[in-house]
Amino acid sequence: MANEYSDNLPQVAYTSQQVQQYEGQAAKLSGTNLTTLMRRAGHAAFSYVNDTMSSHEKVLVITGKGNNAGDGFIVAQLCREAGIAVTVLTLFEPKRLAGDAQQAYRQYHGKLVSTYSEIDLSQFTTVVDAVFGTGFRGELPEHVRTCFDCINNLPIRKVALDVPSGVNATTGEVAPSALMASTTVTFIALKQGLLSGTAKRFVGNLLLAGLGVDKAFNSQVTATSNFLNHETLMATRPQRALDSYKNSHGHVLVIGGNHGMAGAVRLAAEAALRAGAGLVSVATHPDNTAAVLYGRYELMVHAVATAEALLPLLNKASVVVLGPGLGQDLWAQSLFRRVIQTKLPLVLDADGLNLLAKEPVARSNWVLTPHLGEARRLLNNVNAKVDEADRFAVVSNISKQYQATTVLKGPGSLVAQQQSININRSGCAAMASAGMGDVLSGIIGGLLAQGMEAFAATNLAVYIHGLAAEQAADDGAKGMLAGDLFEHIRGILG
């Protein structure tokens, strides 16, 4: 059990602090101790290196000044015992290591160097990163950055132990010159910061080694993030009644599509349909009606020249999606002001969010789907600090500030936290692809229209995470195209 590592990842993640705080307790409950955990961590990582090794492997282990270095020395010694050529590059004085890490250093009897200029880095086939783990904060020291800049440029595999050095495993912040791993073998439990935003690119292929204490850990500690894989989602998806018909599945009104921006509103409306909404109406600029309707005759498309023209449409809708292609001119502002007053569940996206940032209002029962730029505008508007690298904090701040369920989009990642809509999860981390905001808002609208509040934003977000995570292995975390997402959502709803 101790040497196991797996790419079959659990669907919960934690902060670094939680892992540091409770790993001892989990070890105790599992009848072991921290010293053994470090040995198991080293063994698990070595197993991965060894299992996936090519012939004539030359391994460079780079160590830091904490327990992550201890794991590294154990990997190095195991390489040595297995007859693999190994060198340890100590970026910090190893004599100053403490406790189990010091012990692991003493038990390593192979080659040691203290500066990378002493060795020809290009001779190595694998670099094992044991510089920083869950204890890392802030920026990398200058000498570490210079070394990582060289390593990152080498076309060799890089295996990070627990966390790629330079990535904050709680927030997902990536320090300049962080080590870009091809594979990260993380220990005990997934850390939420490894799953979102730019961190994803630095983590590479993510593996988990539970070290025999993961079950005890999960039973003791409440996860900060949840995500679903496809199988779980399919098992829990809402079922449609066999005798249902269009009026049993809600009516979404998508509003947007200013002059020259018909595409966005069409994408959102089509997504709402494909997500299973019984009826979808579109209120758009008079120039766009023909373009929006073309080839998608299920849509009911209305030319709306003034805000007054919205009233009969709002009266029939069960959910509104406002913002795709809306623009910010006087026409857009008048529609925004009218819609924001309704009591209907509302999904606000794109320019709807930019208008909200200019005219913040109190409301409940709404979902905001900003990308980071829109998020920054939403928060700057109320003078809140926006730490753009910490996507978890951004989504939590918007969620609190606007009393809104918030889904933060972004290249390669998405984070959601629910607020006033009745979603029964406590927040999650998830992945989505860039450029699919209109689709996302449409799908959320479509699901809300069907009364799937508990499913719409958060579960959708976590589901997309699962999909993107699966896909990431194949296409380098590029995420998915809108068409793929449509197909998957159609699969969910049957």
Q: Is 132 helix (H, G, I), strand (E, B) or coil?
A: coil
Q: Which two tokens stand for residue 290?
A: 């023909």
Kind of pairing between the strands at 414-417 and 428-430? antiparallel
Q: Which of K ion, ligand NPW, none is residue 160 near (CB under 5 to 8 Å by kind)? A: K ion
Residue 261 near residue 234 (C-beta atoms within 8 A): no
Nearer to ligand NPW, 99 or 360 (CB): 99
Q: Which stretch binds ligand NPW (CB under 6 A): 160-168, 310-318, 333-341, 479-487?
A: 160-168
**Of all helices (H) and strands (E), which one includes residue 380?**
helix 372-380
- Residues numbered 163-202 forming contacts with K ion, rule: CB under 5 A: 165
Query: Rounded to the nearest 5 degrees, what angle is found at the Cα of 172, between the Cα atoms of 404 and 376?
Result: 45
As measured in angstroms, the least distance from the Cβ of 164 to K ion is 6
For residue 408, CA distances in Å to 1, 147, 195, 267, 484 come to 38, 34, 14, 19, 20
Q: Which is nearer to K ion, 57 or 129 (CB)?
A: 129
By CB under 6 A, is residue 162 in contact with ligand NPW?
yes
Candidates 115, 55, 110; CA nearest to 87 is: 110
Show the binding pattern over residues 294-333: x = contacts ligand NPW (CB under 6 A), - = does not: ----------------------------------------
User: What residues from 410 to 439 belong to the interface with ligand NPW (CB under 6 A)?
Assistant: none
Element (H, E) at 203: helix 199-203
Tell me which of K ion, ligand NPW, none is bound by residue 129, counting a contact when its beta carbon lies within the kind-specific cut-off of 5 to 8 angstroms.
K ion
φ, ψ at 21 (rounded to 5°): -70, -35
Greatest extent of the chain over all pairs of C-alpha atoms, in Å: 80
Is 71 a binding residue for ligand NPW by CB under 6 A? The answer is yes
Judged by beta carbon distances under 5 to 8 A according to partner kind, the member of K ion, ligand NPW, none in contact with residue 466 is none
Q: Which is nearer to K ion, 70 or 323 (CB)?
A: 70
The least distance separating K ion from the CB of residue 142, rounded to whole angstroms, comes to 18
- Give the x/- contact pattern for ligand NPW in 128-157, rule: CB under 6 A: ----xxxxxxxx-x----------------
Residue 435, judged by CB atoms within 10 A of its CB (0-12, 13-18, 19+), counts as: middle
Residue from 15, 18, 63, 67 touching ligand NPW (CB under 6 A): that is 67
Nearer to K ion, 68 or 458 (CB): 68
Distance from first CA to last CA of the chain, Å, rounded?
39
Three-state secondary structure call for residue 319: strand
Binding to K ion in span 88-147, by CB under 5 A: 129
Residue 162 labelled as part of a binding site: yes
Which CB atom, from 26 or from 340, has the smaller least distance to ligand NPW? 26
Q: How many CB atoms lie within 10 A of CB 477?
A: 19
Q: According to CB under 6 A, which residues from 32 to 61 bind ligand NPW?
A: 34, 37-38, 41
The answer to whether 202 contacts ligand NPW (rule: CB under 6 A) is no
Q: Which of 108, 117, 114 is nearest to 86 (CA)?
A: 108
Integer Cα distance of 262 and 257 in angstroms: 5
Residue 476 beta carbon to ligand NPW: minimum distance, rounded to whole angstroms: 25
Query: 371 among the known binding-site residues?
Result: yes
How many residues line the site for ligand NPW (CB under 6 A)?
27
Give the rounded distance of the alpha carbon of 342 from its chain centre. 32
Task: Give CA–CA dist 4/383, Å, rounded.
Answer: 48
Residues near ligand NPW (CB under 6 A):
20, 23, 34, 37-38, 41, 64-68, 70-71, 100, 132-139, 141, 161-163, 187
Residues near K ion (CB under 5 A):
68, 129, 160-161, 165
Feature table: binding site for AMP:
409-413, 437
